C-alpha cells in the first residue's frame, strides 16, 4: 500500500495557491468574485483601491453607482448562459457626470463538479484612453476623407467657374472693342465677375480645411489673411451678427504659417458667434500696430464680441485642453487650446478680457519680422498682355477648352484644343517643332498633366509646359518641376492672369 506524502501535498497546494495569488494580485485590472446572489465576495487589490467597500455590493452598485440592472451586461448573460460572456460598459463619472469611463468586461462562470454555476468572476479593463484614441483616429480618417471629397468638388467647381468667368470677360472685351455704349450691360457683367470671384474665394476657403500637408512659416502681411477669413465669416454667420473690420494694411509683416492663422481667426470668430447666439450683436476684428516690447515691433490682432461673456472663475482655464464653457455636445474644448498653441508657437502671446453680459475681447500679439513698406495694388487696371505662338491646350472638360482657347485667341495666340491627352501627345509627337507651348490640366483620364508633361519633354526638352488645375493641393510644386512643368496656375483664372502667365513664355513684351 502506497503512503501519501502529506508534506509534499501540502507544499504543492501552498505553491499552487501562491502562484494564483501572485497572478491575481499582480493583475492591474479589476477582478471581482460574485456569488449566486450577485453580491461581491472577493476583490483584488486594484479593485479595492478603485472601489473601496465593494464587498457585499452588486455589479451595478460598484461600476454604475446605481441599483437598476444594466440593459446590456455580460454579468447577467453569463449567469443565464453558463458561458463566458463579454461586453463594453460605458459609465458616466464625475460630480456633473460629464466624464465617461469605458470598461471592457469579461464575465467567467465558476462551476461545481456537476456543472452548476456557483459564482461569476468579472474581469474589467479601463479602456477609456484606447477608445478616445480610436475615436480620434476615426475623426482624423473622416477629415482626410472630407479633404479628398473637398478637393474633388473644388476641381469640378472650378471647372464650372472657368467658362463663367472666361466668357464674361470675353463678352466685356468684345463690347469694349465694339465701342458699346450701354454702361448698364458692363455693370451687369461686372456683377457676374464679382460673384464668380467670390465663389472662387469660397472654394479656396474650403480647401484651407482640407489641406493636410505640413505647412511652414512664411514672411507675409496679416491683412490678406484677415480679409479672406472675414469674407467667409460674412456668408456663414447669422445676419443678426454685425461684422466690423478695422484693418491697418501697413503694420508690417510677420513670420507665420498662413493656414494655421486661418484656423486661429476662424476659431475665434466662430466662438464669438456662439457667444452672441441668436441675439443681435457685433463681431469686431481689428488689425494694427502695438507698442514696442522687448526691443521688438509688434502687431495686434483683436477679435471682440458683444456676447454673453465668460465668468471670472473660468477665464483662467479657457486655454486648457478639453476645457469648454459650451454644452457637452457643442464643443470639444480643444479650440482655444489650439489657438494658444499656434500663437505661442509663432512667437506671440494672447490677452483676454471678458465681462459677463457684455462680451469678450481676444488680443493676439505677433512680433513684426519686417517693417512695413508701401502696399500697392497688384494687377490693378492696365491692359492685357498679348503675344504670338501656337499652343496645345489640353483639358478633359470641353467647356474649359473652348473658353480658354477663345481667350488665348483674343490675346493673339493660335490654339489647338484637345480633351484627350493621348490625342494631344499624338499631334505633338508628329510635329513637335510646330508648337510653342503646352497648357494642360492636372487631373484627366488616360494621362495626368504630369505624365503628359514628362512625355512631351522626352520628345522635345525645351517646350514650355503650364500646368492648369482646379485643385492645387493634389500636387506639390517641386513634384511638378520634376515632371518638367515650367509654370503652375489655378483654375478659374481671369483673362488678365492668363495673359500674364502665357506672356512669360510667348509674350510680345508689351503691357
Q: What distance in Å separates the CA atoms of residue 229 and residue 222, rounded to the nearest whole number?
A: 11
Residue of 365 and 169 predicted with greater confidence: 365
pLDDT at 398: 85
Mean local confidence (pLDDT), 283-293: 90
**What is d(CA 349, CA 368) in angstroms, rounded to the nearest whole number?**
13
Number of Cβ within a 10 Å radius of residue 227? 15
| Residue 83 banded pLDDT, cuts 50, 70, 90 | confident
Asked whether the predicted pLDDT for residue 303 surpasses 70, the reply is: yes
- The segment with the largest mean pLDDT, out of 70-84, 333-347, 411-425, is 411-425
**Measured distance CA(172)–CA(452) in Å, rounded:** 34
13, 15, 20, 21 alpha-carbon torsion, rounded to 10°: 110
Q: Is 374 left (phi over 0), alpha (psi -120 to 50) or beta?
A: beta
How far is Cα 220 from Cα 230, in angstroms, rounded to an integer?
18
Q: What is the pLDDT of residues 339-363, one digit of tens each?
A: 887 788 788 888 889 888 889 999 9
Q: Give the pLDDT confidence score for residue 263 in this predicted structure.
A: 80
For residue 439, the model assigns a pLDDT of 92
Straight-line distance from the first to the last Cα atom of the chain, in angstroms, rounded to the nearest whole number: 119
- Does position 41 have pLDDT exceeding 80, yes or no? yes
CATH of domain 219-375: 3.30.565.10
Question: CB–CB of 428/459 below 8 Å?
Answer: yes
DSSP reduced 3-state for 381:
coil
Interval 217-246: pLDDT, tens: 778 888 888 888 888 788 778 888 888 888
* CATH assignment of 390-506, among 3.40.50.300, 3.40.50.2300, 3.40.190.10, 2.130.10.10: 3.40.50.2300
Find out whether 465 and 436 touch, Cβ atoms under 8 Å.
no
- Percent share of the chain, pLDDT over 90: 13
Same topology for domains 26-126 and 390-506, yes or no? no
3-class secondary structure for 215-244? CCCEEEECHHHHHHHHHHHHHHCCCCEEEE
Q: What is the pLDDT of residue 376?
A: 34
Write the DSSP symbol of residue 68. S
Q: 26-126 — its CATH code?
A: 3.30.450.20
Is pLDDT larger for residue 296 or for residue 95? 296
Q: 3-class SS at 480?
A: helix
* pLDDT of the residue at 382: 44
Question: For helices 128-177 and 495-506, what crossing angle results, to 10°?
Answer: 80
Point out the least confidently predicted range of 85-94, 180-189, 301-310. Answer: 85-94
4-18, 304-318, 495-509: which has the minimum mean pLDDT?
A: 4-18
The whole-angstrom separation of Cα 511 and Cα 502 is 13
- Tell me how crowded residue 67 is: count the other CB atoms within 10 A of its CB: 9
Give 364's pLDDT tier (boundaries 50, 70, 90): very high
CA angle, 219 then 224 then 226, to 5°: 110
pLDDT of residue 429: 93
Which distant-in-sequence residues (6+ apart) come within 8 Å of 60 by Cβ?
A: 66, 67, 68, 69, 70, 73
Question: What's residue 425's pLDDT?
Answer: 93
Residue ranges of the domains in the chain? Answer: 26-126, 219-375, 390-506
Q: Phi first, then psi: what are they for 190, rounded to 5°?
A: -65, -40
Instruction: Please compute the mean of the pLDDT values over residues 15-22 and round it to a whole number.
Output: 72
Give backbone dihedrals phi and psi of 368, rounded to 5 degrees, phi first: -75, 125
Q: What is the CA radius of gyration of the chain?
A: 34
Q: Is 70 exceeded by the pLDDT of residue 180? A: yes
Tell me the C-alpha distance between 77 and 71, whole Å.
Answer: 10
Mean local confidence (pLDDT), 361-387: 62
Predicted confidence band at 287 (pLDDT cuts at 50, 70, 90)?
Answer: very high
**pLDDT tens readout for residues 452-504:** 999 999 999 999 999 877 655 445 566 677 778 888 777 777 788 888 888 88
The mean pLDDT value of the chain amounts to 78
C-alpha cell at 491: 483654375
Per the structure block, which three cell numbers stand in for 21?
A: 495569488
Is pLDDT above 70 for 506?
A: yes
**pLDDT tens string 90-139:** 777 654 445 678 888 888 888 888 888 888 888 888 888 888 788 777 76
Amino acid at each position: 500500500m502506497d503512503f501519501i506524502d502529506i508534506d509534499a501535498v501540502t507544499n504543492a497546494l501552498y505553491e499552487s495557491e501562491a502562484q494564483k495569488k501572485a497572478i491575481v494580485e499582480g493583475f492591474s485590472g479589476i477582478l471581482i468574485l460574485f456569488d449566486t446572489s450577485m453580491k461581491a465576495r472577493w476583490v483584488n487589490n486594484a479593485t479595492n483601491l478603485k472601489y473601496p467597500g465593494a464587498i457585499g455590493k452588486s455589479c451595478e452598485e460598484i461600476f454604475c453607482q446605481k441599483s437598476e440592472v444594466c440593459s446590456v451586461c455580460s454579468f447577467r448573460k453569463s449567469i443565464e448562459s453558463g458561458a463566458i460572456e463579454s461586453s463594453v460598459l460605458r459609465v458616466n463619472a464625475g460630480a456633473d457626470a460629464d466624464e465617461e469611463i469605458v470598461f471592457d468586461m469579461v464575465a467567467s462562470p465558476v462551476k461545481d463538479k456537476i456543472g452548476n454555476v456557483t459564482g461569476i468572476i468579472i474581469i474589467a479593463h479601463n479602456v477609456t484612453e484606447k477608445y478616445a484614441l480610436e475615436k480620434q483616429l476615426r475623426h482624423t480618417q473622416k477629415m482626410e476623407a472630407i479633404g479628398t471629397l473637398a478637393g474633388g468638388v473644388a476641381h469640378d467647381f472650378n471647372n464650372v467657374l472657368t467658362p463663367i468667368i472666361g466668357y464674361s470677360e470675353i463678352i466685356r472685351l468684345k463690347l469694349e472693342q465694339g465701342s458699346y455704349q450701354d454702361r448698364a450691360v458692363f455693370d451687369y457683367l461686372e456683377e457676374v465677375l464679382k460673384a464668380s470671384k467670390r465663389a472662387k474665394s469660397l472654394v479656396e476657403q474650403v480647401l484651407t480645411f482640407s489641406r493636410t500637408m505640413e505647412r511652414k512659416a512664411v514672411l507675409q502681411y496679416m491683412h490678406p489673411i484677415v480679409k479672406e477669413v472675414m469674407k467667409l465669416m460674412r456668408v456663414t454667420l447669422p445676419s443678426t451678427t454685425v461684422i466690423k473690420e478695422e484693418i491697418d494694411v501697413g503694420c508690417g509683416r510677420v513670420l507665420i504659417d498662413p493656414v494655421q492663422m486661418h484656423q486661429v481667426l476662424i476659431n475665434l470668430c466662430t466662438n464669438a458667434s456662439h457667444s452672441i447666439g441668436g441675439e443681435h450683436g457685433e463681431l469686431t476684428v481689428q488689425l494694427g500696430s502695438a507698442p514696442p516690447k522687448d526691443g521688438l515691433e509688434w502687431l495686434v490682432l483683436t477679435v471682440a464680441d458683444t456676447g454673453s461673456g465668460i465668468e471670472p472663475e473660468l477665464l483662467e482655464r479657457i486655454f486648457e485642453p478639453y476645457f469648454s464653457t459650451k454644452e457637452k455636445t457643442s464643443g470639444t474644448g480643444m479650440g482655444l487650446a489650439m489657438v494658444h498653441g499656434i500663437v505661442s508657437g509663432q512667437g506671440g502671446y494672447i490677452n483676454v478680457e471678458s465681462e459677463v453680459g457684455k462680451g469678450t475681447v481676444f488680443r493676439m500679439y505677433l512680433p513684426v519680422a519686417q517693417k512695413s513698406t508701401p502696399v500697392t495694388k497688384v494687377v490693378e487696371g492696365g491692359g492685357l498682355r498679348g503675344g504670338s505662338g501656337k499652343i496645345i491646350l489640353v483639358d478633359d472638360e470641353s467647356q474649359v477648352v473652348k473658353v480658354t482657347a477663345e481667350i488665348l485667341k483674343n490675346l493673339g495666340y493660335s490654339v489647338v484644343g484637345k480633351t484627350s491627352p493621348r490625342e494631344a501627345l499624338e499631334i505633338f509627337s508628329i510635329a513637335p517643332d510646330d508648337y510653342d507651348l503646352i497648357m494642360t490640366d492636372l487631373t484627366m483620364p488616360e494621362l495626368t498633366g504630369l505624365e503628359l508633361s514628362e512625355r512631351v519633354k522626352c520628345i522635345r526638352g525645351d517646350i514650355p509646359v503650364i500646368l492648369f488645375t482646379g485643385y492645387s493641393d493634389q500636387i506639390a510644386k517641386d513634384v511638378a518641376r520634376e515632371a518638367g512643368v515650367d509654370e503652375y496656375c489655378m483654375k478659374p483664372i481671369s483673362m488678365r492672369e492668363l495673359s500674364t502667365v502665357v506672356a512669360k513664355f510667348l509674350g510680345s513684351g508689351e503691357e
